[in-house]
């Protein structure tokens, strides 16, 4: 499995103020979407999330988002090395993802940019 990069996940109270800051910091434009009642803005290497505390409490458990070439390959590798996949793979607005618990208890999201059916 090839890891292409990592995105830092940040839960924020005020998404608009945070987007302004991170766009200025990175020089990148935010890619925005909604998922499960949570407003999300991807800005460079940062994934900003804002929404109901009940949803954010779950999202805070995920240490980071790891970009991979292919989520199906990640699924096979993770399973082979003893990780437990707890969600996915499922389609997202930009590709597919899954969430896995590593043997040490760390929780990570793995994402690719493949459209469903591609």
Q: Where are the chain's structural domains?
A: 3-112
Which among 24, 20, 26 is positioned nearest to 8, based on CA atoms? 26
Tell me what the mean pLDDT of segment 3-23 comes to: 95
pLDDT bracket for residue 98 (50, 70, 90) = very high
Tell me what the mean pLDDT of segment 59-73 comes to: 94
**The overall pTM is greater than 0.75:** yes
* pLDDT in the model for residue 116: 59
Classified as helix, coil or strand, 37 is coil
Task: Tell which CATH architecture fits domain 3-112.
Answer: Roll (3.10)
């Amino acid at each position: 499995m090839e890891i292409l990069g990592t995105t830092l996940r940040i839960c924020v109270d005020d998404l608009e103020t945070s987007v302004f800051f991170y766009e200025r910091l990175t020089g990148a434009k935010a890619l925005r979407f909604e998922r499960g009642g949570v407003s999300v803005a991807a800005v460079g290497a940062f994934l900003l999330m804002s929404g109901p505390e009940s949803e954010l409490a779950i999202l805070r458990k995920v240490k980071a988002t790891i970009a991979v070439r292919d989520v199906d390959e990640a699924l096979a590798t993770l399973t082979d090395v003893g990780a437990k996949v707890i969600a996915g793979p499922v389609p997202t607005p930009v590709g597919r993802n899954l969430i896995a618990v590593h043997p040490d208890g760390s929780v990570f999201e793995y994402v690719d940019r493949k459209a469903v059916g591609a």
